[in-house]
Amino acid sequence: MKRKYVLRSDLVGYVGVDIGGQNTRVGTILPNGRLKLISFSTQPKFSDQIEMLSNAIKELGVSKIKRIGIGSPGPLDWRRAFVFDTPNLPWKNVSFKLLEKRLNIDVLLDNDANVAGLGEATLGAGRGKRIVAGFTLGTGIGYFHIIDGRIYHGSLDVEAGHQILDPNGPRCNCGQNGCLEAFTSATGILHRYGVPPHELEDEKAWDEVAFRLAQGLVNIAVHTSAEVLILCGGMLARGEMLLKPLRRYYEQMLKVYPKRYRPKVLPAKLGDKAGVYGAIVLAHVGHAGV
Ligand SMILES: [Zn+2]
């Protein structure tokens, strides 16, 4: 199978923006291959956010910006660069076309999980693979599916964090019951075990979380036939506490493919920079149209 690599030198001239509830980071890859980053606090007013963004982008000092990619908490409509009412940001129903008009540079928007996944798939743990899928483990469970270095959406976006593992399971923030997110997100863990993941020391609890996450991974393996599955997010700092039982359950459950076609589950490599790198890659490759 032909492998595709994104080279850092291809990314020079593109700008990536990673918007979080607390901080916004703006970055570009310099001609020497290094990442230049500027951060500021995410602004409560959207007009101030646009102002700060355009200042930070100018401050990067890129002589001619080719395009800007943005990763933001969703739900959002990437086709219109439009963010709906979201619990993780202070603004609702806003369009990043405002930034495009202001700077006269094309802007591409996508949700933070897709963008971090794109970064990992092209420059991180999935580098060199054509079909990559995975989850971001955070306050929610984000999902990404990257095909030939581009994000796959479906008509709006795939929500595999909300696959139902047990219809009699715990209530999820989305309104369904027993979603993967309700069992394995930081919010779900806090709700079920009374402590956030970084304080959870109970092996039996981690075993339950790992079992549910393995179910989720097997389900995306059989739906995507990905070459690798990647896990991103702060929860991976718990290392083997999560990964050891996870690998055991995953290997026990997934049998349908011959061994060499069973995707390996890999931890992310880019850490908290996956979002900025992914946004730069998004600016470079553009959207695939689906
Ligand atoms: Zn849900």
Burial of 154 (0-12, 13-18, 19+ CB in 10 A): exposed
* Confidence label for 3 from pLDDT (cuts 50, 70 and 90): low
Identify the DSSP state of 234. Answer: G
Ligand 1 centroid – CA 154 distance (Å):
18
Residue 4 Cα to ligand 1 middle (Å): 34
Question: 106 to each of 103, 119, 202, how far by Cα in Å?
Answer: 8, 20, 49
Tokens 């420059």: give the residue: 123
Mean pLDDT (whole number) for 219-236: 96
Domains of the chain: 8-112 (3.30.420.40), 125-268 (3.30.420.40)
Distance from the CA of 178 to the center of ligand 1, in angstroms? 7
Tell me the ipTM for this assembly.
0.99
Average pLDDT over residues 231-255: 96
**pLDDT by residue (tens digit) across 132-158?**
999 999 999 999 999 999 999 998 899
Query: Nearest to residue 274, comparing CAs of 236, 225, 242, 217?
Result: 236
236 in Cβ contact with 137 (< 8 Å): yes
Q: What is the DSSP letter of 2?
A: -
259 CB neighbour count, 10 Å cutoff? 8
Name 17's bridge partners.
Answer: 26, 70
C-alpha 163 to ligand 1 mean position (Å): 7
For residue 207, how far is its CA from the centre of ligand 1 (angstroms)?
Answer: 21
What is the CA(213)–ligand 1 centre distance, in A? 14
Distance 181 CA to ligand 1 centre (A): 6
CA of 162 to the centre of ligand 1 (A): 4
262 C-alpha to center of ligand 1: Å?
A: 27
Res 151: pLDDT: 97
Pick from 95, 75, 96: nearest CA to 85: 75
Say how many Å lie between the CA of residue 6 and the centre of ligand 1. Answer: 34
Distance between Cα 18 and ligand 1 center (Å): 24
**Model confidence pLDDT, tens digit, residues 8-48:** 899 999 999 999 989 999 999 999 999 999 999 999 999 99
- Are 249 and 211 in contact by the 8 Å Cβ rule? The answer is yes
Q: Which residues, chain by chain, have CB under 5 Å from ion ligand 1?
A: 162, 172, 174, 176, 179, 181
Measured in whole angstroms, the distance separating CA 240 from the mean position of its chain's CA atoms is 22
Amino acid at 220: I
- Across 193-198, average pLDDT: 97
